[in-house]
C-alpha cells in the first residue's frame, strides 16, 4: 500500500463504502496519529524512518499470500487475504504520521485568507488535490479535509473556545477538553463537541449539509434561529439539513460500524430478542421487534463478518420478517413464532 492507495481508502471511508474491518483500522490509525503527532524527530531520523517504512509497506503489498477462506452458515464464503495484508500495513502506516505533518504529505501549504489583516491568527486551507489532506490543529485535534474542501481555523485557539469554519466535507477527531467546546461552522449549521470524531459534509451544489457521528456525542443546531433547536447525536446517528427540507432531520448513517466490537454475534439457537439486544450493544442502535410473538423465534448463524444490513437481512429471512429504519431506530416486523 502506498500513499495514493491509502488516500483512496480514506475516500471510500468518506462515502461509507469501507467494510467494518477497514473502518476499524482507519480509526486505529487516527488514534495513533494523535499520539505520533506529538513526537519530535530529527530530519535525518524522519528520512530514515520514511524510507524504511514505505519499503516495508511496498514489500507487503506485493506479497503473494494464500487467501484465508471462512465458511459462513448460509454457504457464503469471504476472503480475508486483503484484510490480513491491510492489517500488516496499517501498523507501518501509523508510524508515518509524524512524517506526514512535518513533510507535508497530507497537508497542502497553509496561507492566510486575503480578507484578513496581516499577522492575523486565522489560517485557511483548501484541498485542491485529488486525495484527502490531514491537518493537526493547535489542540492536537485532527481534521481530514476531503478534495474540494476548505477549512478556516486559528493558529492558536482562544482561551475559552475552539472554532473552525468548513466548506465541503471533512472528518474531525477532536481532542477532549470539557472546558473548551469545539464548534464547526458549516453553512447554516453549527456542530458542537467536547471530544469525539464525526463527519461534516457540506454539499454546496446540492445545498445540503450532513453531520454523522462516529464516536462520542455531538450537538447540532442552526446558526440563525433565535430559539435554537438542538439535536444530540450519538455513534451511527446523523442529521441532515437541505433547501428542500430546511429543518434538522435525524436518522442513521448508511453503513453503521460497531462501537463495541467485543460483542460477539455468532449465535446457536438464540432467542431473537437476545439477538437484537446483542446487535444493539454492538452498534449503539435501538432495534425493536414490533410483534410480541417474535420472542419465541430463535436464530442460528455466525454473522460477524457481514455489514449490519446484511446481518439484518439474514436474521429477518430466517424468521420470515422484515425491517425498516425509522429515525434513529430500526423496527422489525413479522408474524413471529409460537411456543
- For residue 295, what are the domain limits? 266-334
Asked if residue 307 is part of any domain, the answer here is yes
Question: What average pLDDT score do residues 334-339 get?
Answer: 90
Please provide the distance, in angstroms rounded to a whole number, between the alpha carbons at the two ends of the chain: 54
Let me know if residue 257 belongs to a domain.
no
Query: For the CA atoms of the chain, what is the radius of gyration?
Result: 22
The predicted model gives 281-291 an average pLDDT of 95
| Residue 271, strand partner residues | 298
Residues 248, 272, single domain; the answer is no
User: Comparing C-alpha atoms, which of 117, 115, 157 is closest to residue 136?
Assistant: 157
CATH number at residue 220: 2.60.120.1440
Whether 138 and 246 map to the same domain: the answer is yes
Asked, for residue 148, whether it belongs to a domain, the answer is: yes
Same domain, 245 and 272: no
Q: Residue 15: how many CB atoms within 10 A of its CB? A: 11
159 and 245 inside one domain: yes
Going by pLDDT thresholds of 50, 70 and 90, the confidence category of residue 180 is very high
75 and 151 share one domain: no
147 contact partners, CB below 8 Å, separation of at least 6: 11, 127, 128, 129, 130, 131, 132
Residue 234 included in any domain: yes
Strands 133-136 and 122-126: unpaired
Say whether pLDDT at 259 is over 50: yes
Look at residue 15 in the predicted model and tell me its pLDDT: 63
Domain count, the chain: 3
Least confident of 39-53, 63-77, 268-282, 301-315: 63-77
For residue 238, give the 3-state DSSP assignment: strand
Q: Which of 205, 212, 211, 213 is nearest to 243 (CA)?
A: 205
Closest C-alpha among 100, 86, 94 to residue 33: 94
pLDDT tens for each residue of 118-163? 446 889 999 999 889 999 999 999 999 999 999 999 999 998 999 9
Residue with cell 477538553: 177
pLDDT digits (tens, 9 = 90+) for 74-95: 333 333 444 434 444 444 444 3
Last residue of a domain, one of 103, 132, 149: 103
**Site of grid cell 471533512:** 170
Residue 46 lies in a domain: yes
CB 89 within 8 A of CB 1: yes
Tell me, yes or no, whether 140 and 214 share the same domain: yes
108: cell is: 497542502
Contact 108, 126 (CB under 8 A): yes
Answer for the pair 259, 236: CB distance below 8 angstroms, yes or no.
yes
% of the chain surpassing 70 pLDDT: 64
Give pLDDT, residue 120: 66
Return mean pLDDT, the chain: 76
Instruction: Say if 339 falls within a structural domain.
Output: no
Nearest to 193 by CA among 205, 203, 184, 204: 184
In this structure, the answer to whether residues 91 and 11 fall within a common structural domain is yes
- Give strand pairing partners of 288: 331
Report whether 153 contacts 141 (CB < 8 A).
no
In a domain, 115, yes or no: no
Q: What is the pLDDT of residue 246?
A: 81
Same-domain check for residues 210 and 277: no
51 and 27 inside one domain: yes
Distances (CA, A) of 72 to 52, 263, 304, 314: 39, 18, 10, 12
Q: Hey, what's the cell of 275?
A: 439477538
pLDDT tens digits, one per residue of 19-57: 666 766 666 666 555 555 445 445 555 455 455 544 544
Query: Are residues 127 and 237 located together in one domain of the fold?
Result: yes
Q: Is residue 111 assigned to a domain?
A: no
Residue with the bigger pLDDT between 104 and 280: it is 280
The per-residue pLDDT for 185 is 95
**Cα–Cα distance for residue pair 96/105, rounded to 1 Å:** 10
Q: What is the pLDDT of residue 206?
A: 73
Inform me whether the pLDDT recorded for 61 exceeds 70. no
245 and 152 part of one domain? yes
Structure confidence at residue 292 as a pLDDT band (50, 70, 90): very high
Amino acid at each position: 500500500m502506498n500513499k495514493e492507495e491509502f488516500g483512496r481508502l480514506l475516500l471510500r471511508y468518506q462515502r461509507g463504502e469501507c467494510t467494518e474491518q477497514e473502518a476499524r483500522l482507519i480509526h486505529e490509525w487516527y488514534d495513533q496519529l494523535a499520539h505520533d503527532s506529538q513526537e519530535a524527530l530529527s530530519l535525518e531520523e524522519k528520512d530514515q524512518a520514511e524510507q524504511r517504512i514505505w519499503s516495508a509497506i511496498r514489500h507487503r503489498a506485493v506479497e503473494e499470500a494464500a487467501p484465508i477462506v471462512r465458511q459462513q452458515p448460509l454457504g457464503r464464503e469471504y476472503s480475508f487475504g486483503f484484510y490480513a495484508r491491510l492489517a500488516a500495513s496499517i501498523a507501518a502506516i501509523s508510524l508515518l504520521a509524524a512524517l506526514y505533518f512535518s513533510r507535508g504529505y497530507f497537508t497542502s501549504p497553509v496561507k492566510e485568507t486575503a480578507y484578513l489583516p496581516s499577522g492575523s491568527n486565522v489560517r485557511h486551507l483548501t484541498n485542491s488535490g485529488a486525495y484527502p489532506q490531514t491537518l493537526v490543529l493547535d489542540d492536537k485535534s485532527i481534521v481530514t479535509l476531503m478534495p474540494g474542501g476548505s477549512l478556516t481555523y486559528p493558529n492558536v485557539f482562544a482561551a475559552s473556545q475552539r472554532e473552525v469554519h468548513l466548506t465541503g466535507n471533512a472528518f474531525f477527531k477532536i481532542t477532549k477538553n470539557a472546558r473548551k467546546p469545539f464548534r464547526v461552522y458549516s453553512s447554516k449549521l453549527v456542530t458542537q463537541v467536547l471530544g469525539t470524531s464525526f463527519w461534516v459534509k457540506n454539499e454546496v451544489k446540492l445545498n445540503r449539509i450532513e453531520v454523522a457521528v462516529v464516536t462520542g456525542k455531538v450537538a447540532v443546531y442552526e446558526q440563525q434561529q433565535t430559539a435554537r433547536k438542538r439535536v444530540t447525536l450519538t455513534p451511527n446517528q446523523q442529521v441532515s439539513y437541505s433547501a428542500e427540507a430546511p429543518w434538522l432531520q435525524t436518522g442513521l448513517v448508511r453503513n453503521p460500524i460497531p462501537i463495541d466490537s467485543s460483542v460477539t454475534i455468532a449465535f446457536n439457537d438464540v432467542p431473537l430478542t437476545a439477538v437484537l439486544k446483542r446487535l444493539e450493544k454492538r452498534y449503539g442502535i435501538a432495534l425493536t421487534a414490533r410483534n410480541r410473538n417474535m420472542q419465541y423465534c430463535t436464530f442460528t448463524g455466525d454473522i460477524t463478518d457481514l455489514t449490519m444490513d446484511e446481518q439484518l437481512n439474514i436474521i429477518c429471512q430466517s424468521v420470515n420478517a422484515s425491517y425498516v429504519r425509522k429515525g434513529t431506530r430500526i423496527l422489525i416486523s413479522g408474524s413471529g413464532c409460537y411456543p
